[in-house]
Structure 1
Amino acid sequence: MDSAQLLTSGGLGAIVGLILALSGAGGGILAVPLLIFGLGLTMTEAAPVGLIAVGMAAALGAILGLREGIVRYRAAMLVSTFGIASAPLGLWLAHRLPDTPLMMAFAAVLVYVAQRMFRRARAEQKNGAPLPREMPMPCVINPREGRFQWTLPCAQMMSGTGLLSGVLSGLLGVGGGFVIVPALTRATDLDMRSIIATSLAVIALVSVGTVASASVAGVVRWDIGLPFGVGAIIGLLAGRRIARALSGPHLQQIFAVIALAAALSLLTRGARALLGA
């Protein structure tokens, strides 16, 4: 890799880390389009490289969250255990599906995430406050102990979230934050800072497991992944400072528009490949 590619890889990683710090859910899903359009990787090559950056940045964010005491580590361990178990299935599928349909499937997921985030942010702006959560929640904190009251519905929700995020990590190279954050928001009474920190812990653990499986299979571009990961860490640290000064709903809307543009670009590229085939 020449110096220009090295700088490009680091710069793209910084964008991922910045978004991850601001949303806890978006960096991973934008990593793959950035690698495809910025460095010309295929979908199969981009997926594990994206996870290297997402995993490194998420691990740092989770460590900082642990220091602040806002990571629910038991919940993170449960979700990530199921995620790591299901990630090899996603990897197996990714290397048996053609690149173009896989890219278009990724774009469809990106469209779903973008429109969901935009609608939620718009509703929050209209109400002037975060939307009320549905009751009852399966996972609530015991006020006397400060820990989750573990019930069967709570464990089922956590394990199901882990299984889905793991498959998507292996298949599409995403950290799964866009699954984890909404699940924790809908099913727990945690505040948003704790939800994001716990999500980062899960993303870090699942990403490590998925990248390890991909590395054993010999499909990881470490020459791109390492500078991409370093850039993501720098972006995450910068993003934590920026997040204190910016409005959450506005950030979510900006991210949603960027994600939708990336999805449309991927769909256009996939359609051209199919028509040219």
Structure 2
Amino acid sequence: MEILAPFSLTWAIGHLLAVAIGLSLGLLGGGGSILAVPILVYVMSLPTKTAIATSLFVVGLVSLIGLIPHWQQQQVNLKVAFTFAPFAMMGAYGGAQMAALPFVTDTVQLVSFGTMMLLVSLLTIRKSHRTRSQRADLDDSNPFKMAILPIIGAFVGVLTGFVGVGGGFAIVPALVLLAGVPMKEAIGTSLLLIAINSASGFFGYANQVSLDWQLTISFAVAATVGTLLGGYLAQAIDAKHLQKSFGYFVFAVAVFTLLNP
């Protein structure tokens, strides 16, 4: 694996883009891995599996830090998170183990990544006008919501482990459209779930790749700056506009990835 010299032009560009990863996480509650994997593959020249493992570490750590302003604003729904998380963790570890199968090449993972982004972006754009304002009500009177969150959690977890996404691209729409969580609360809750999912997926890759820790830590520091800024900017932006922007953003990255597997 080619290692870029610190402070080279490409290294600097990659780290400026890492700030954008953080902004995406802090502002939208997801999209960090959607940016991180392509940046690490196409800009930093990492092999796909190494990029995925690096992305999971960086995005998980940065999501945990980015959670702070959302927690302070009481925009984290712990009841939803604890319903979702255990199944997502199991799925993430299992997805990482699936990535070790012989037929799972870099191209297979990148095409899977792009296809899923495309589908989710279209769903998000189409339903962005339906953003709900009520809080989620996950009690015995809502058995459908209680049942659907673990299923979604397991599905998102598998995607986290297999293609290296923290899951915010799917978690945010799922919490808003299916569980009725207000958009800004879904963003804060998503950051907690991304951190949990990413940690589980990362441990699934632990015996498959060797990370460049200097790059990994410097990338995480740059992304942290962005996510803290994004978390505070999120207070001033309308939730409906956030969801629509999120959908178009994911669509653009999906098209790029599918054209450059």
TM-score scaled by length of structure 2:
0.84
Equivalent residue, structure 1, for 2:139: 149
- Aligned twin of 2:76: 71
Match of 2:119 among 103, 106, 112: 112
| Distance apart, 1:131 and its partner CA | 4.4
For 1:144, the equivalent position in structure 2 comes to: none
Q: 1:188 to 1:32 in 2, by over 3 A?
A: same
Distance in 2 between the 1:243 and 1:178 partners?
A: 17
**Post-superposition shift, 1:82?**
1.1
Range that drifts further, 70-79 or 51-60: 70-79
**Cα drift, residue 225 of structure 1:** 2.0
Give 2:151's match in structure 1, choosing from 144, 154, 160.
160
Structure 2 CA distance for aligned equivalents of residues 78 and 217 of structure 1:
30
C-alpha distance in structure 1 between counterparts of 2:168 and 2:254, whole Å: 17
Cα displacement (A) at 1:3: 2.2
For residues 248 and 16 of structure 1, the distance between their equivalents in structure 2, rounded to whole angstroms, comes to 19
Do the aligned partners of residues 140 and 81 (structure 1) sit closer, same or farther apart at CA in structure 2, a change above 3 Å counting?
same
How much does 1:255 deviate?
Answer: 4.7
Cα–Cα, structure 1 residues 35 and 249, in superposed 2: closer, same or farther, change >3 Å?
farther
> What is the CA–CA distance in structure 1 between the aligned matches of 2:227 and 2:215, rounded to whole Å?
18
**Does 2:87 match 1:82?**
yes
Residues 206-234 of structure 1: CA deviation (Å, up to 9, x unaligned): 11222233234444443322222111111
Q: Confirm or deny: 8 A CA contact 2:157 2:197 kept in the other structure.
A: yes
Given that 1:214 and 1:220 are in contact with CA atoms closer than 8 Å, whether structure 2 keeps it comes out as: no
- 1: distance between equivalents of 2:166 and 2:49? 15
Residue 13 (str. 1) matches residue 18 (str. 2):
yes
TM-score (norm 1): 0.80
Q: Which moved more, 1:247-256 or 1:22-31?
A: 247-256
* Counterpart position of 2:221: 230
CA distance in 2, matches of 1:59, 1:230: 13
Q: Which residue of 1 aligns with 2:41?
A: 36
Q: Evaluate the alpha carbon distance shift between residue 217 and residue 236 of structure 1 in structure 2; reply closer, same or farther with a 3 A threshold.
A: same
Q: Which has the larger displacement, 217-226 or 228-237? A: 217-226
1:96-143 superposed Cα distances (whole Å, 9 cap, x missing partner):
20111221111111222333333334xx3xxxxx5458xxx9x943xx
Is this contact kept in 2: 1:44–1:95, CA < 8 A?
A: no
For 2:179, the equivalent position in structure 1 comes to 188
Change (3 A) 1:47 1:107: same
C-alpha deviation, 1:188, in angstroms: 2.7
Shift of 1:163: 0.5
When the two chains are superposed, the root-mean-square deviation of aligned CA atoms in Å is 2.6
CA gap 1:249/1:43 in 2 versus in 1, 3 angstroms = farther
Tell me which residue corresponds to 2:106: 99
Q: 1:100 to 1:190 in 2, by over 3 A?
A: closer
> Please, which moves more after superposition, 188-197 or 218-227?
218-227
Relative to structure 1, is the Cα distance of residues 242 and 167 closer, same or farther in structure 2, using a 3 angstrom cutoff? same
| Structure 1 SS opposite 2:75 | coil
Unaligned runs of 5+ in 2: none
